[in-house]
Amino acid sequence: MTISEVSKRYGISQDTLRYYERIGVIPPVHRTKSGLRDYTEEDCGWVELAGCMRSAGLPLEALTEYVRLCREGDLTIPDRRKLLLKQKDILARQLRTIQETMERLEYKISCYDRAMETGTLIWD
């Protein structure tokens, strides 16, 4: 699979795919004899994981560290588990923050709804 195909498949730019590989967010990608990237399904799996984690806002650093541990072998399984647990906790906190902010927005929107009906803006 070429880089342009992978780019389209996951909605990640070619530049970003090369960048991710360069800094270790994904492991080195398989190449053709002439040096062109030729993504295997496994390579694609790493791209998809990176895209998933990034879309949730997790930092590239956490991904590079995870990839590093995976490449080091089974002895790092407890460390990998701990790393993922930490990122999950970060997301759980972010989830609550977003929920609170959404409620806040919904309240303000409802005030504007009423204001547009009655012509009077009543606040907080």
Partner DNA sequence: ATATCATCTGGAGTGCACTCTAAGTCAAGA
Partner DNA sequence: TCTTGACTTAGAGTGCACTCCAGATGATAT
The site for DNA (CB under 7 A) is made up of: 2-5, 13-16, 18-19, 22, 31-37, 54, 59-61
71 lies in the binding site for a second copy (CB under 8 A): no
How far is the CA of 36 from the CAs of 20, 109, 112, 113, in angstroms? 16, 52, 56, 56
Q: Which of 35, 78, 118, 122 contacts a second copy by CB under 8 A?
A: 78
Instruction: Kindly tell me which of 57 and 119 has the beta carbon lying closer to DNA.
Output: 57
Buried b (16+ CB within 10 A) or exposed e, 17-43: beebbeebbbeebeeeeeeebbbeeeb
Residue 72 binding: pick among DNA, a second copy, none (C-beta 5-8 Å cut-off by kind): none
Please count the residues of this chain forming the interface with a second copy, following the rule CB under 8 A: 37
Q: 69, 80 in Cβ contact below 8 A?
A: yes
Residue 42 binding: pick among a second copy, DNA, none (C-beta 5-8 Å cut-off by kind): none
Residue 34 binding: pick among a second copy, DNA, none (C-beta 5-8 Å cut-off by kind): DNA
Residues with Cβ within 8 Å of 48's Cβ and at least 6 positions away in sequence, in order, are 10
